Amino acid sequence: MPIVTIELRKRYAPDREVQIIDAVHAAMMEGLKIPSWDKNIRLFVHERHRFATPPGKDERYALISIDLFAGRSLGTEKKFYRALTTNLQPLGIPPDHVKVVLREASRENWGIGSVPASEVDLGFEINV
């Protein structure tokens, strides 16, 4: 059930943008153990003057924010970070140009339909 936002400074061709989305999703399946059907990813491209980056980063900089349920171990998160940078590198985004923010929320604080997620069978395990 993660919700992902990918923010970029460089405009890519549509097929490359889909590859970037798919690379992030594949890393989430590998590292965070989400199922293949769980895909809620948005990609935004900002004008350079509207997206300041840290020193030494260029137009390839990628900021990836993920809202997800709390429960994954540090080891699981590290595996995800490695898979993410490994998947993005062949698409022209170097590992040192990727910043990820994981924002964890308890299932009680996440609504699915008219009920909290804590009352829903998610179909997968989050404590990995």
pLDDT value, residue 119: 63
Cα separation, 20 vs 127, in Å, equals 26
Query: Any residues with CB less than 8 A from the CB of 112 and at least 6 apart, and which?
Result: 1, 120
Span 69-73, average pLDDT = 89
pLDDT (tens digit, 9 = 90+) per residue, 81-100? 999 999 999 999 999 999 99
pLDDT value, residue 7: 97
Residue ranges of domains in the chain, CATH in brackets: 3-119 (3.30.429.10)
